[in-house]
Each structure stands twice: as structure tokens, then as C-alpha cells.
């Protein structure tokens, strides 16, 4: 029996296959607590991938939003990145 998280990612893969032709560009969006080490760790996960990166700090400076536009070959690569980020960065919110 799949966990709730495994089922979520299975459904995401299916939706991505149905809604897009692959390979394709995908935009990842994350919110992290404003912390230089967390930002560096997040950017390190996408290092050498050719990602176009945009960051914006919240008005009170507590959070940083990060958008990464990346060319990927299939939906499984999308899920792989989400899993790595979720396991590596405490307090990250994936959108």
C-alpha cells in the first residue's frame, strides 16, 4: 500500500503526462525560511542544470520564494527533484 506522499507523487506524474508533452520546461516554486545556507542548499540541488532562477524575499524578510525554470525529459525527473528538495531542506514549502 502506498503512503499518502507516494500516492501524491504518482498522481502528479500522471497529471504531468496528461497535460504536457515531454521533454518540456517545468517551473518549480518553493518557499523557504530566509536563511542563506538553505538558499544555497536549494540552489545546489539545481546546480549545473541550466535552471533559470528567480528569488524574492517577503516584505518582512522572514521567507524567500524561489522559482526555477528547468528543461526536463519526463515527469519522473520533476518528482525526483521535489523529493530531493523535501529531504534536504527543512521547512521548505513546495508549490
pLDDT digits (tens, 9 = 90+) for 33-86: 999 999 999 999 999 999 999 999 999 999 999 999 999 999 999 999 999 999
Q: How many domains does the chain have?
A: 1
Cis peptide before 54 (omega within 30 of 0): no
Q: Which of 78, 91, 84, 83 is nearest to 25 (CA)?
A: 78
Three-state SS at 40: helix
Please compute the mean of the pLDDT values over residues 25-37 and round it to a whole number: 97
CA quadruple 45, 47, 30, 38: dihedral positive or negative? positive
Q: What is the pLDDT of residue 1?
A: 66
Parent domain of 9: 4-94
In this predicted model, which residue has the larger pLDDT, 38 or 1? 38
- The rounded distance, in Å, linking the Cα atoms of 4 and 60 is 33
Contacts (Cβ under 8 Å, ≥6 apart) of 51? 68, 69, 70
Global pTM reads 0.90
Helix (DSSP H) and strand (DSSP E) numbers for the chain: 3, 4
Q: What is the pLDDT of residue 2?
A: 76
CATH number at residue 60: 3.30.70.260
Please compute the mean of the pLDDT values over residues 17-39 and round it to a whole number: 96
Amino acid at each position: 500500500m502506498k503512503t499518502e506522499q507516494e500516492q501524491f507523487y504518482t498522481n502528479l506524474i500522471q497529471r504531468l503526462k496528461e497535460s504536457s508533452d515531454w521533454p518540456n520546461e517545468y517551473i518549480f516554486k518553493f518557499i523557504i525560511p530566509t536563511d542563506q545556507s538553505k538558499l544555497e542548499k536549494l540552489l545546489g540541488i539545481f546546480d549545473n542544470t541550466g535552471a533559470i532562477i528567480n528569488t524574492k524575499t517577503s516584505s518582512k524578510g522572514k521567507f524567500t520564494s524561489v522559482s526555477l525554470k528547468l528543461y526536463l525529459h519526463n515527469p519522473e525527473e520533476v518528482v525526483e527533484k521535489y523529493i530531493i528538495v523535501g529531504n534536504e531542506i527543512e521547512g521548505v514549502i513546495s508549490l
